[in-house]
Structure 1
């Protein structure tokens, strides 16, 4: 799925969820829910043909102010607006997708033991993990390297799925975060390859992917089911490496200190 196709699907989805009456338009005689294209164009002060081309995924000249006006009409949240901006304009000054992990970042992950810590790319490829992450979260060495990806494991690895408490919520949250990272990255192919693979291998992914949810991951809560069936609760923080944009150190802190193996 190309960037233009993502723009198209995102705009169509969010246009459909807007109540026309919020802008003084009648809800009568509408074949589909939401605003019409010409109504979005009118409200955003752009031509109907220009907005139609944008929604069709054509390559056209776009100004940031026009995208901001469209986002306002579609009642996008700040996170959704940032996602649309990133989809349309991309991001700058990013290193190659396959750039090496800085040695000091690996040392940091190790130094965080006995707390779980691992390193991943923006597309959720898992690159490195400490022993605590292996023991308390997952041993990624047990799966083929091409499947060492948090989003893939959520949908195609039954053992991994069984470790995630409230799997559906975690899956939807991960897809929403993946979309946000995808839009902000200049390495679209690294994301699109994962989407193509999951579309081919997981019906549940195909269904959830089309929901168009977007969310950023900076911190949150995670519940992991251990080998004994006990649910262990963690808070986590995702830190992007300033010297290597697109690489993240993920740190888990157990809510119950007794979970920590020393």
Structure 2
């Protein structure tokens, strides 16, 4: 599956033609020109232009040089909002600048993209389940809220960038997480199968497609496994995790759908002997 096969993924549209292309080009040129390469560990020796080079922005944002070059040139490309947000972080854009950037690329703003709101009562319930690990995860596998036991026994999600705080992304992009999952390949295939099931049924497909397209850009392992088309919902099961002390722990887990939320699950773990 190529990046372009997720048909509803946003494509950089040419509104007002060359004017839009010029605006995007100048915006990105000026912002990368403001940056100090030494802040990112790059040498300024033999550097003919101010700021970061295109290939340096691409490297820091985890996108290909070709893709970033095409983006800067204003060409029609298919690219994920996650990649646009990472580029914005590299360029140190303010919230208003990021909103402008997204609107220029996509023709609209993603700033308030259907955020899931958690009720205080649900947060209190998750906290009260401690010492059992419990967390809320959306259908596209974004991690939305968790208790202290989850942080200590499953994974400290606060240690990763909020754009990568997603179970499927962690499975493929986070080396620490991968090392803590015995039988990683089978676990990864199962995670993809569950993700694909909910993706097919969801009425909010763009939320899933930002994850898919970001992973297609960043993980060859995901590209290969995504081609297998495994489908299987996972509402309960067993999982083994190597804890932070190096001990192998075995859990049973259950996913429950809160009555007030149609697109998220409360997931809790119970340790098995």
Structure 2 residue corresponding to 1:118, chosen from 128, 131, 135: 135
Residue 2 of structure 1, CA deviation: 3.6
Q: Deviations over 1:178-230 (max 9, x none)?
A: 00111111110110110000011000000000100000111000000012221
Distance 2:243 2:256 in 1: 25
1:194 counterpart = 2:191? no
SS of 2:266 mapped into structure 1: strand
How far is 1:111 from its partner? 1.0
- Check if 1:142 corresponds to 2:159: yes
Q: Equivalents in 2 of 1:136, 1:4: separation in Å?
A: 37
1:3 and 1:219, CA in 2 relative to 1: closer, same or farther beyond 3 A? farther
Structure 2 residue aligned with 1:224:
241
For structure 2, the residue ranges without an aligned partner over 5 or more in a row are: 10-112
Alignment of 1:239-254 (within 5 A): 239-254=256-271
Alignment partner of 1:128 is 2:123: no
Preserved contact between residue 171 and residue 188 of structure 2 (Cα < 8 Å): yes
In the TM superposition, residue 99 of structure 1 has moved relative to its aligned partner by 2.6
How many Å separate the matches in 2 of 1:219 and 1:182?
18
2:232 alignment partner in structure 1: 215
In structure 1, the partner of 2:176 is 159
Runs of 4+ residues over 6 Å off in structure 1: none
Give me the TM-score of the superposition, normalised by structure 2: 0.59
Structure-1 separation of matches of 2:148 and 2:245: 19
**C-alpha offsets along residues 225-250 of structure 1, whole Å, 9 cap, x if unaligned?**
01222110000000111211111100
Give the drift of 1:3.
6.5
Q: Which runs of 5+ in 1 are unaligned?
A: 6-95, 257-262
Query: Scaled by the length of structure 1, what TM-score is found?
Result: 0.61
CA distance in 2, matches of 1:128, 1:221: 21
| Residue 211 to residue 238, structure 1, CA distance change in 2 (3 Å) | same
Give the superposition deviation at 1:167.
Answer: 0.5
1:15-94 aligned at under 5 Å gives the runs: none
Secondary structure at the aligned position of 2:254 is classed as strand
1:3–1:188 Cα contact (<8 Å) kept? no
Secondary structure of 1:215's match?
Answer: coil
Quote the RMSD (CA, aligned, Å): 1.6
How many residue pairs get matched?
166
